[in-house]
Amino acid sequence: MAGFAELWVYLAREPLAALTATLLAWLAASWGAAKARWHPLANPVLIAVLLLAGGLLALGLDYRAYFAGAQFVHFLLGPATVALAVPLYRQWRAVRASLPAAVASVLLGGLFAALAGIGIALGLGAAPEVTASLAPRSVTTPVAMGIAEALGGLPGLTAAIVICSGIIGAALGPIVLDGLGIKDWRARGLAIGTAAHGIGTARALRVNALAGAFSGLAMGLNALGTALLLPLLWRLVGG
């Protein structure tokens, strides 16, 4: 029989354990979220990330070794983003009628998100590379990393900030919208998709098909608009 140490080396090196742990953490998080009746605060992404990050830190495991296994799940983000075309197509009749209003609110909302990030960072005296990492905060991760790099930010830190923002937006955004009395599913989807990209869209799709379609649309438009406009804006603000 192999010793415990050898077994540990095998488990830490092979992708099987990390992949299994990711799926089990997700099942546990979904179970917890269902128990909480899908309350926005019981966000399954947040719970699963806390479980796995806590596990890595407690066991002293390297993130890169973990990602070697978890990358098989991560890879599916690409095709899933493409798949957002399907709910958008199903709701196209409703979306087309309100397209100008949707485009205007997403572009202005995305601009506001970037300015708020830059303003808060400058106001609190953050390092320039942190400010550049905070500016593209509301955009989906791969775009945000590319923008941050172009602005002189840190792509890795940006990814962490983007995902935290997505979790916050998905968990607390619906409470803000309730407080403001916004009941239109289209407006709710646009707000969540603009501020909380894919993580917010995941939540919106679960709650309401119309909100999900508008959220996916907002995420795509915001990625497009911010990628094109933020570098220009940055040059103006940065002098």
Residues 186-215 that bind other proteins (CB under 8 A): 186-188, 190-192, 194-196, 198-199, 201-203, 205, 212
Distances (CA, A) of 55 to 18, 20, 91, 221, 239: 11, 13, 41, 36, 45
| Of positions 7, 24, 41, 97, contacts other proteins by CB under 8 A | 97
Q: Which residues of 200-239 are buried (b: 16+ CB within 10 A; e: fewer)?
A: bbbbbbebebbbbbbbbbbbbbbbebbbeebeebbeeeee
Minimum distance between the CB of residue 125 and other proteins, rounded to whole angstroms?
A: 7
By CB under 8 A, tell whether 66 contacts other proteins: yes
Residues 151-180, interacting with other proteins (CB under 8 A): 154, 156-157, 159-161, 163-169, 172-173, 176-177, 180
By CB under 8 A, tell whether 136 contacts other proteins: no
Minimum distance between the CB of residue 74 and other proteins, rounded to whole angstroms?
A: 4
Among 4-12, 34-42, 219-227, which window interacts with other proteins (CB under 8 A)?
219-227
Q: Which residue has the tokens 């403001």?
A: 180
Using only the alpha carbons of the chain, give its radius of gyration: 19
By CB under 8 A, tell whether 100 contacts other proteins: yes
CA gap 73, 15 in Å, rounded: 11
By CB under 8 A, tell whether 57 contacts other proteins: yes
CA gap 144, 217 in Å, rounded: 17
Residues 7-26, interacting with other proteins (CB under 8 A): 22-23, 25-26
